[in-house]
Structure 1
Amino acid sequence: MSVFVILGLLVCIEAQASSAVTPVFVQKGKDVLLNVTTDVLKRITFVSWNFNKKVLVIFVPGTNSSVSDGYTGRIEFSEIKYSVKLKNLQKADSGVYTARVFGAEEQTTEYNVTVQDPVSPAGLTVDSVSNSSDSCNLTVTCSAQDSHISSTFTCDHQTCSQEGGERSEVTTSGASLHVYLMNDSIICNHSNQVSWTNNMTKIQHFCPQHAGSESLSAGISLCLVKTVMFSVGLIIMVSAVISVHIMEKLKKQK
């Protein structure tokens, strides 16, 4: 009876040693390395890697590892660490991968692998702008391929705020779409566990009141820098004069 048949009977038996399932997210077309996270036994009978309870790889000490039909060239198995490297993953490769190390006792490691597409570009559109002498209102739309969020921002000469705070939602593809305010910029971020894209716009481009505040702040900052530089220079000059005076006094005492 072949080794695969024997192993096929064994994997039908529930493992006595339980382990937590570790979630792993991989971008479509990429590779992933899965390690045996339990203590490696010294006296090994054999090691198996299974995908959704189907045999992928088996290894018996003293022989070469055997890869199941259909996975040749797509799996690299380490006969030292018992890890597997899965190559060029596709959506159909999502599922539970289980490593079982058999010896005096059985040790199990499980991964729940999810293969995801990279997210689509994030779009940010300014839908409307309303200006007055004291304030400015902007309504924007943060969008992805399958979803969008609208949000309103209000600015005066000093600060900006987002109506209702930061906004986010889960898209139909399971990604996250997020629009928020950061350092006088509106950010639209589209992300999932394997990739992200964003788009941004400066509020000053649409709100001259707030731009004036920024210019004033910049002017104050520049003035402060000049004042500090002048003060440092003055201290250096005074220190130099005092040093020369002390040296001349010491010479006269000699």
Structure 2
Amino acid sequence: MSIFVILGLLVCIEAQGSSAVTTVFVQKGDDLILNVGPKAYFVKWKFNERVIVVFDTEGGRIIDPGFTGRIEFPVKTFSVKLKNLQEADSGVYAAQVSRIMGGGMLTLAEYKVTVQGPVSPVELTVDSVDSVFSRGSDSCNLTVTCSTQHSHISSTFRCVSRTCSQEGGEQSELTTSGASLHVYLMYGAIICNHSNQVTNDFKRIEPFCPQCAGSEGSSAGTSVYLVKMVVFSVGLIIMVFAVITVHLMEKFKKHK
């Protein structure tokens, strides 16, 4: 290949090259393909300024011993596939090509990779219920705690006639692992959610006052309802019996 063809190719690459960084989040243990757009010569991949792969002009590859067995080449280009990523593999991966004129390196592709493990499970517990429930009220104040391994959030909800609101709005906190812990209302339920960019775990409860009132309030309401039903039923039976009795007496008189 002539020097003019190589120069033309590199000028084309420089025009197409981009300094934009692509942000990627990967779950721990997964694989990741890093693609390179235009073809070039003398390409090398770097991880945090450490050269991990070099492609020579004849299609051969030189791999950093620390990455042997952890890099594959899925297609006949300069793309690479990183295997079984761990948190320590988080960082900046860049594909570069040497400039013929002017020295320095031209970046063909750059990825900021963040490897995250699954979030820890969450727990959603009811801390307190306003004492008004013991009197069978249809409104209540409910305090809950949304917690995970190293973080927790407490929030209070007020429910009136099965309609609830959250004091202060949605509550959130950034955990030590970089994940987010949220507690909020959605479709009438309290949600406790722990999530990062790749996984999440959540719990939910429905904080309606008839459920929050406790067994005493619920039993009292049920007892009143049962008493009303019994009284109504007995009254109805007596009325029916009276009508039948009158009808039979009239029929007996006519027959006599």
TM-score for both structures, normalised by structure 2: 0.68
Quote the residue 2:229 is aligned against. Answer: none
Q: Deviations over 1:128-147 (max 9, x none)?
A: 11225241111000001110
Quote the residue 2:24 is aligned against. Answer: 24
Separation in 2 of the partners of 1:142 and 1:152?
Answer: 11
Query: What are the within-5 Å matches in structure 2 for residues 1-254 of structure 1?
Result: 19-36=19-36, 38=37, 40-41=38-39, 44-78=40-74, 80-102=76-98, 106-130=106-130, 131=133, 133-204=137-208, 205-207=211-213
Query: 2:94 touches 2:107 (CA, 8 Å); kept in 1?
Result: no
Assess, with a 3 A threshold, how the Cα gap between structure 1 residues 27 and 75 changes in structure 2: closer, same or farther.
same
Separation in 2 of the partners of 1:103 and 1:80?
Answer: 22
SS at match of 1:57: strand
Moved over 3 A (4+): 101-107
Separation in 2 of the partners of 1:207 and 1:186?
Answer: 16
Q: Deviations over 1:99-129 (max 9, x none)?
A: 1145778442111112222110011000111
Partner amino acid for 2:187?
A: N
- What is the Cα deviation at residue 62 of structure 1? 2.3
SS at match of 2:67: coil
Query: Greater CA radius of gyration, 1 or 2?
Result: 2
SS at match of 1:48: strand
Partner amino acid for 1:93?
A: D
Give 5+ residue unaligned stretches, structure 1.
Answer: 1-16, 213-254
What do you get for the CA RMSD once the two structures are aligned? 2.5
Higher helix share: 2
Assess, with a 3 A threshold, how the Cα gap between structure 1 residues 200 and 85 changes in structure 2: closer, same or farther.
same
- What is the Cα deviation at residue 71 of structure 1? 0.9
Separation in 1 of the partners of 2:99 and 2:75?
Answer: 15
Q: Deviations over 1:195-225 (max 9, x none)?
A: 100011121332589xx9xxxxxxxxxxxxx
TM-score for both structures, normalised by structure 1: 0.68
SS at match of 1:121: coil
Give 5+ residue unaligned stretches, structure 2.
Answer: 1-16, 222-256
How many pairs were matched up? 191
Query: 1:151 touches 1:163 (CA, 8 Å); kept in 2?
Result: yes
Partner amino acid for 1:190?
A: H
Separation in 2 of the partners of 1:158 and 1:107?
Answer: 59
Separation in 1 of the partners of 2:176 and 2:67?
Answer: 32
Partner amino acid for 1:20?
A: A
Q: Deviations over 1:159-186 (max 9, x none)?
A: 1100111111101221100000111211
